[in-house]
Amino acid sequence: LVERVEGFAPVTDWDRAYGEINAFERQLTDHGMAVAKFWIHISADEQLRRFKERERVVYKQFKITDEDWRNRKKMPAYREAVEEMLARCTAPDATWTVVAGNDKRFARVQILRTIAERIERADMLGFVPDRACEHLVGEACGTRGPDEDARLQEPLGAEGEAIVVGDDDTIP
């Protein structure tokens, strides 16, 4: 999107990228990978509110730059680029989920539900990770080392403690 809107790449390059992205995603899904893509949309009014809050709140000031304000002026061009990306970079097994992002909690829950549904669908289709994939998942979660052949355990936190998600319906 940035290359297109800012003119960092000629039309032929960013236009070609759509086909390359689709081919890459097709390779993933052809090999049993579940692909979940999200576009989190916020309104212009909500973006403005967040920008102003970032300027006002000291610990959020690092999140806002002159570039953000400059890019905001290009919102129509970005909107056009996003719409084309959503239309051209989608496939039956690699669809986009457009998330209403004005409410952060709602957006996070929608994303988590979509991921869970994609995982369930992959499971129903009989996808079973091969040993190499299971090994990588284990390492990424910190549940086993490269030479261990143990079953996957609960993911571990930085200090080795189990990660527990509260039951009070809050999102950390």
* pLDDT classification of 29: cutoffs 50, 70, 90: confident
pLDDT on residue 134: 57
Q: 46 and 104 in contact (C-beta within 8 Å)?
A: no
Residue 57 has pLDDT above 80, yes or no: yes
Summarised one tens digit per residue, pLDDT across range 96-155 is 999 999 999 999 999 999 998 888 887 766 665 555 455 555 555 554 454 544 433 334
Is residue 21 packed enough to be buried (19+ CB in 10 Å), middle (13-18) or exposed (0-12)?
middle
pTM more than 0.85 = no
* Range from 12-16, 27-31, 38-42, 123-127 carrying the lowest mean pLDDT: 123-127
In this structure, what are the phi and psi dihedrals at residue 156, rounded to the nearest 5 degrees? -110, 145
Give the contacts of 113 (CB within 8 A, at least 6 positions apart). none
| Amino acid sitting at position 65 | T
